[in-house]
Amino acid sequence: MNSPRFSICTTNYNCAHALKQHLDSIYSQLDEKEFEYIVVDSKSTDSSMDVLNKYASSHENMTVLQKKCVRGIGRQMALKRSTGKYILQVDCDTVYFPIWRTFIYKCLELYPDLAVQAIFSGVYPRKIMDEVGGWRNFQWGDDLDLWMRVWKTGKMRWYPVAVGENVKEEGAESYMDALSKRYSGKMEKSFRMLRTEIDRWKLRKEREMDLPKIFKENSVDFDLGEEQVWVHKSPKENILIWVRGVLRKERMILQK
């Protein structure tokens, strides 16, 4: 059997609220013969596995794995199981617009040997992923960690246009994802927040770089939508400021 052109490598944890819409948005845009979809579920406690297994039962190109792990490790597991020439990065709590397919094929047409990241999805040649070692052990910032390692090779480009819509409740976005209803109880929320903050601290040098300038100097334009402000330059952070931030977020969790 020939390898698919694309390998979608992603992870899931308690995203049942968006999974069906997410999968429909993927499968409605790509021919099943041209891609494989590999998802690692991190032992979800909602109905995620029911949704995933039901979808996989009628789509032969879909593989569902289960392992309790952080997002970067899960994506790397999916990557190792994949065979496609190009890796597509997607998120299970994101529903993709019709321009997503156009974005993918524009990348292949104009930049077949480069990695291109739009807001909420990216296209990565396998040889680049192999060169930098793929995703690493991060729950938060696994994307930033990958981007900056690829950028150092001169093969990273950004497209500041959203190719999908992230489905999360208000106030539970980005690094405050720990407040999401997806996590049950204050203990799980606290653990999630602490892991996120540890990753943010580990990536502080990358966050303190002039990311807006780097993104702009390495941007591409496919004329698919309105460009958005994507990143901001973070101020330098010492350990005392970091600890204060962790305690402040913990108080927010306990007050919920």
Sorted by sequence, the CB contacts under 8 Å of residue 211 that are 6+ apart come out as 231, 232, 233
Contact 139, 175 (CB under 8 A): no
Q: Are residues 203 and 241 in the same domain?
A: yes
Q: Are residues 151 and 189 in the same domain?
A: no
Residue 218 lies in a domain: no
Sign of the Cα torsion 151, 212, 120, 103 reads negative
Q: Are residues 239 and 187 in the same domain?
A: yes
> Residue 170 pLDDT > 70, yes or no?
no
Q: How far apart, in whole angstroms, are the C-alpha atoms of residue 156 and residue 124?
A: 9
Sorted by sequence, the CB contacts under 8 Å of residue 171 that are 6+ apart come out as 179
Q: Are residues 56 and 145 in the same domain?
A: yes
Residue 196 lies in a domain: yes
Q: What is the mean pLDDT of the chain?
A: 92
Sorted by sequence, the CB contacts under 8 Å of residue 84 that are 6+ apart come out as 3, 4, 5, 6, 7, 35, 36, 126
Residue 189 lies in a domain: yes
- Reported as a single tens digit per residue, the pLDDT across 103-153 is 999 999 999 999 999 999 999 999 999 999 999 999 999 999 999 999 999
Q: Are residues 26 and 133 in the same domain?
A: yes
Q: Are residues 203 and 98 in the same domain?
A: no
| Residue 20 CB coordination number (10 Å) | 14
Q: Are residues 117 and 47 in the same domain?
A: yes
Residue 135 lies in a domain: yes
Q: Are residues 10 and 63 in the same domain?
A: yes
Q: How far apart, in whole angstroms, are the C-alpha atoms of residue 160 and residue 193?
A: 27
Q: Are residues 31 and 86 in the same domain?
A: yes
pLDDT of residue 176: 66
Q: Are residues 13 and 104 in the same domain?
A: yes
Count of structural domains, the chain: 2
Residue 215 lies in a domain: no
Residue 214 lies in a domain: no
Q: Are residues 119 and 32 in the same domain?
A: yes
Please indicate whether residue 171 or residue 111 has the higher confidence score (pLDDT).
Answer: 111
Q: How far apart, in whole angstroms, are the C-alpha atoms of residue 173 and residue 247?
A: 19
- Reported as a single tens digit per residue, the pLDDT across 21-79 is 999 999 999 999 999 999 999 999 999 999 999 999 999 999 999 999 999 999 999 99
What three-state secondary structure class fits 136?
coil
In which domain, by residue range, is 244 found?
Answer: 174-209+224-255
Q: How far apart, in whole angstroms, are the C-alpha atoms of residue 53 and residue 160?
A: 34
